[in-house]
A and B are shown apart, each in its own frame.
Chain A
Amino acid sequence: MKKKDLISITDYTREEYLRIMELAGEFEKNPNQNLLAGKVVASLFFEPSTRTRLSFESAINRLGGKIIGFADSDNLSVKKGETLHDTIRMVSSYADLIVIRHPLEGSARYAAEISPVPVLNAGDGANQHPTQTLLDMYSILKTQHTFDNLNIFIVGDLKYGRTVHSLLMAMSQFENPIFNFIAPDELQMPQEYKLYLREKGIRFFEHKEFTEIISEADIIYMTRVQKERFSDPIEYEKVRNVYILRNAMLNNTKPNLRILHPLPRVNEIHPDVDKNEKAYYFEQARNGVFTRQAIIAHTMNLK
């Protein structure tokens, strides 16, 4: 049987998205299932990412699997000059599944080509982070009970935000989504994604700042506006406070609205939002464990 890697969000079909959602729901009800007993998972974090790593390791532990690996590349053969090729060749003979986080784009696809055991991409530079997208989708489904006819607002860094692009591609597989993009000039949604939406006949609107239009939102997906993305620091200073969501702004929003954020946040969601029942980002992070359990179970044909 062909091994099922998950490298890019487009590796999965619409049916597979739905299957992962169903499995994640099962794991949420019953998180401790000994399906990975006797299996070894290599967790290879070539750059640190506490949240993603712990979420994966929690998922593996709840499935009864054993973990080998490293949390950053400081004490590694990589430091001695070993190629990714050789590291993967070696590790794939020690483990039944590889989870890889690597700063270079395309590294996970390359690892999957080399490895005889399945590979899950836990983030390859600015390229893809598909398990994040699936947990975002699970959070959307849990709070909206559907993927169809949703009005999704995406705010902040739409140019470089990999989670934003993957979410857009995945949600476009469902019925009648509407996207609203809120971003400064320098961080607008790239043309290729707008072209993709136009070709699929999906409606989208672009805004430079928050307006009363957020009253129509079902989901507000916030991202960080990072200073290093701006060529001109003055431009950053101009916009840094424009994309902050505050509790008062949520007064006239829909009751089913939920606010998502891939975390970590800096200042883009004011802490006064945290108490609002529409704030969902911490539950979203918790959903990551169930979603990753579902992805592992699907990849290893455990369910």
Chain B
Amino acid sequence: MIGLKCSLRVRYVIYNIKLKRMKKKLKVSAIRNGTVIDHIPAGNLFKVIAILGLDQVEGQITFGTNLDSGKLGRKAIIKASETYFEDDDINRIALIAPHAKLNIIKDYQVVEKKVVEIPETIRGIVKCFNPQCITNNEEITTFFQVVSKNPIALKCRYCEKITGSDQLTMK
């Protein structure tokens, strides 16, 4: 009986050690130089890749998705080797990854942290909610003035209608 208890105890301890190791292990391997974009909602990973043009860059890109996150439930992370972004470029993902955090990596160390900010104007990315808008009837890049950031409200340059947060869909 005592033997059985001991063996259960040992197995439990081993399990915990394994679990800790698993937790510590990086899900996406580290980069030497470049940018890490964390806290991307898992469902929007590929949109972020497309908006930032990461499918076009020369450097190595690694990403992971459906990772556990307290804040988002399921998050995605992108590590872009030897790739850096201008603030204006990175802010383009603000609508689909408002909580995204950027770490700029130099020699495996985080040298700068950035958060995304919703810009004053948004070109492309978002669809105008108005089916009668010319942008939904002809091949035109949309353009919006951000009239409110929280809750989000975007005024279409063309039809002048306001797309609200509950009507927001991506192109």
A interface list, Cβ under 8 A from B: 8, 83-85, 102-107, 109-110, 124-128, 192
Whether B162 contacts A106 by the Cβ 8 Å rule is no
Query: Is A104 in contact with B160, judged by CB distance below 8 angstroms?
Result: no
> In B71-121, which residues have CB < 8 Å from any A CB?
none
User: Nearest 6 CB-CB pairs, A to B?
Assistant: A106-B158, A105-B159, A106-B159, A106-B134, A107-B134, A104-B134
Known: A83-B139, A110-B140. A128 touches B134 (CB 8 A): no
Residue ID in chain A nearest B162 by CB atoms:
A192
Distance, CA A110 to CA B128, complexed state (A): 14
- Chain A nearest Cβ from B66, distance in angstroms: 39
CA distance A26 to B158 in the complex (A): 33
Collect the chain A residues with CB atoms within 8 Å of residue B161's CB. Answer: 105, 127
Q: Which residues of B contact A127 (CB under 8 A)?
A: 159-161
Assess the A106–B139 pair: CB atoms within 8 A. no
Residues of A within 8 A of B40 (CB): none
Could you tell me the distance between the alpha carbons of A192 and B161 in the complex, rounded to whole angstroms? 10
Chain A residues near B158 (CB-CB < 8 A):
105-107, 109-110
Say whether A85 contacts B138, CB under 8 Å.
yes
Interface string of B117-152 (1 = CB under 8 A from A): 000000000001010111101111000000000000
Asked, given contacts A105-B130, A105-B132, A105-B133, whether A110 binds B160 with beta carbons under 8 Å apart, the answer is no
> What chain B residues lie within 8 Å of A105 (beta carbons)?
130, 132-134, 158-161
Q: What's the least CB distance linking A69 to chain B, in Å?
A: 19
How far, in Å, is A88 (CB) from chain B's closest CB? 11
Do B138 and A125 have beta carbons less than 8 Å apart? no
Residues of B within 8 A of A103 (CB): 132
Residues of B with C-beta under 8 A to A124: 134, 159
- How far is it, in angstroms, between the C-alpha of A110 and the C-alpha of B158 when the chains are bound? 7
Determine which of A83, A106, A107 lies in contact with B160 in the assembled complex, contact meaning CB atoms within 8 Å: A106
Minimal beta-carbon separation of B86 from chain A (angstroms): 25
Asked whether A84 and B138 contact (CB < 8 A) given A105-B133, A109-B157, A126-B132, the answer is yes
Interface range on chain B (Cβ under 8 Å from partner): 10 to 19
Chain A residues closer than 8 Å to B45, beta-carbon distance: none
Q: Distance in Å from the Cβ of B122 to the closest Cβ of chain A?
A: 16
Which residues does chain A contribute within 8 Å of B42, judged by CB atoms? none
Q: How far is the CA of A102 from the CA of B130 in the complex (A)?
A: 16
Q: Residues of B contacting A102 with CB < 8 Å?
A: 134
| A102, closest chain B residue (CB) | B134
A103 to B132, CA, bound (A): 8
Chain B residues with CB below 8 A from A109, complex form: 134, 157-158
Q: List 16 A-B contacts (CB under 8 A).
A: A8-B160, A84-B138, A102-B134, A104-B133, A104-B137, A105-B130, A105-B132, A105-B133, A105-B159, A106-B128, A106-B133, A106-B157, A107-B134, A109-B134, A110-B158, A192-B162
**Bound-state Cα–Cα, A124 to B137, Å:** 14
The verdict on B156 contacting chain A, using a C-beta distance below 8 Å, is yes
Other-chain residue from A83, A128, A192 in contact with B138 (beta carbon distance below 8 A) = A83
Contact A110:B162 (CB < 8 A) given known A104-B133, A105-B130: no
Residue contact A104 to B132, C-beta cutoff 8 Å: yes
In angstroms, Cα B108 to Cα A38, docked, is 71
Q: How far is the CA of A125 from the CA of B161 in the complex (A)?
A: 12
Least CB distance, B49 to chain A, in whole angstroms = 29
Q: Which residues of A contact B162 (CB under 8 A)?
A: 192
CB distance from A169 to the nearest CB of B (A): 11
> Which of chain B's residues has its CB closest to A114's CB?
B140
B138 contacts across to A, CB distance below 8 A: 83-85, 110
Residues of B with C-beta under 8 A to A104: 132-134, 137
CA distance A8 to B158 in the complex (A): 10
Residues of A within 8 A of B133 (CB): 104-106
Bound Cα distance from A105 to B139, whole angstroms: 15
CB distance from B117 to the nearest CB of A (A): 25
- Within 8 Å CB of A84, what residues of B? 134, 138
Q: In whole angstroms, how far apart are the Cα atoms of A210 and B33 in the complex?
A: 72
Distance in Å from the Cβ of B78 to the closest Cβ of chain A?
Answer: 34
Q: Which of A102, A105, A126, A127 has most chain B Cβ within 10 Å?
A: A105
